[in-house]
Each structure stands twice: as structure tokens, then as C-alpha cells.
Amino acid sequence: MAPQFPPLDEPYRTALREAVDFITARYDPLGIVASGTIVRGDPGPTSDLDLYVIHAAPWRQRVQRRFNGVPAEIFVNPPGQVRRYFASDRRDGRPITAHMLATGVVVLDRDPVVEDLRRAAREALAQPPDPPAWALRFKRYMIATAFEDGTDVADSDPLSADMILHVAVREMLRYRFLSANRPIPRDKDLLRDLETLDAPLGALARAFYGAETFAGRRALAEQIADAVIETRGFFEWESDPQDVPD
């Protein structure tokens, strides 16, 4: 079957054709799915082509190249690995693979497995995240200790403290989605989606990132910690026993 190209403006039309030529020359693809803002018709200045390549060989690869001046990310995987990504992405609360396959455009379809995977991707997107309780507990603990590390050096090294607090707050906001059994948005959508999920927390987050002083950011980070992880440092917990190889 010959490739079927979606209608795109230049330079994207030529870029996609060159990318497909590159893929078919290098691999033996069962299918190619193009996704992302370029294909959806709303690219930004730095948008790239996202191309998911399904092949039968038992290995995976990621390739970053430019075609006609347009950056492209190429993900090459066999069907079994794609299904494993569906499961692991769901546990992590970030259904990236499912989103690419479910919302993208099929450019090349040489095998029924392509539509089978797209059907599974749509089903995966319809399911909420499924992080186990121990994973949420561990993530909460790691965020709390990071926050504690930041406050520990607040007086001696405020620049390092500020850096650590930014990391901790970002993870708190992500944790808020996981704890609500909601997928974690992309960073560019995080604050907007947070305001829909939890308006008061969204306001605190925007105030944190807009605060002009470290003291102001620290005070707001404390409020965010109290609201999201309900602690500002070490707390007692234990993992479940897990079998390990001899």
C-alpha cells in the first residue's frame, strides 16, 4: 500500500514526505502514524513531526533528524513493545504512546496490527491512570524529601534552594493529577489544566512562578506542599515486601 499523506502546508508537506521516504528505505515498516501539532494544523515556531513506526523486528529505536528543515522525532517499535508502553504509561499517568497512536494520522498501513494498536490506544486513553498505592506513597515521599532539601539550604545557599523548590513544586503539581487519578498534562498545559482540576491550587501555582522574591516563592511552596502532599519533609512509611532474585 502506498503512503497516504494528510494535507499540510509547506515546509511540512515536503518534510513529511522526505521523512516517510527515509523510514521506508531504512526499515521495513508495518505502519507509520504521524502525530503532533503539525499534523493537527496548529504548529508553533519550534514544532516537530512526531512519527511512530511499527515494525516486526524485535528491537526499538529513536531517531532525531531534520527533513526539509523541519525537526522530526521518529519512534520505532514492534507491536509487543507498544502494548508494554500502554501499560507503563498508564501506571506513570502519562499516556504518551496511546495519545500519539490514537490521535495521529495513519500515513502507511501494511498490516492489520496497525489498526489493532490504534484501537488499543483509544481504549488506553479512555482508562484513568492506575498507579499502585505504594508508587503514590513513594512519589509523595520523594517530593517531600526534595522540598526538605530545598528548605535546608535556604539560608546558606538560596540559589540552590530556589532551584530545588522549583523542582519540588513541579512534582507536587504533577502528583496532584496522579492522586486524582487523572493523566499528567504536558508541561505547557500543566497550569491551565490544574486550574480546571483544582482552581485554588492553580492560583497558588501561578503565584509561585510569578513571585518576585525567593521568600515569596518559599512561602507559596509551603502552602502548595501543605495542600498537595500534606507534609514538608520526612514522614514514616514502609514499602511492601517484594521478592528479589537470589
Q: What is the pLDDT of residues 27-47, one digit of tens each?
A: 999 999 999 999 998 888 888
The pLDDT score that the predictor gives to residue 246 is: 75
The pLDDT score that the predictor gives to residue 208 is: 98
The pLDDT score that the predictor gives to residue 130 is: 81
The pLDDT score that the predictor gives to residue 77 is: 98
Fold of 133-228: Four Helix Bundle (Hemerythrin (Met), subunit A) (1.20.120)
Domain segments of the chain: what residues?
12-126, 133-228
The pLDDT score that the predictor gives to residue 45 is: 86
The pLDDT score that the predictor gives to residue 181 is: 92
The pLDDT score that the predictor gives to residue 108 is: 97
Nearest to 239 by CA among 86, 137, 140, 91: 137
Cell 487523572 belongs to which residue? Answer: 182
- Residues 6 or more apart whose Cβ sits within 8 Å of residue 196: 202
- Listed as ranges, residues in the chain with pLDDT below 70 are none
Phi, psi of 27 (to 5 degrees): -115, 180
The pLDDT score that the predictor gives to residue 242 is: 82
C-alpha 231/C-alpha 189 separation (Å) is 26
**Superfamily per CATH, domain 12-126:** Beta Polymerase, domain 2 (3.30.460.10)
pTM: 0.84
The pLDDT score that the predictor gives to residue 63 is: 97
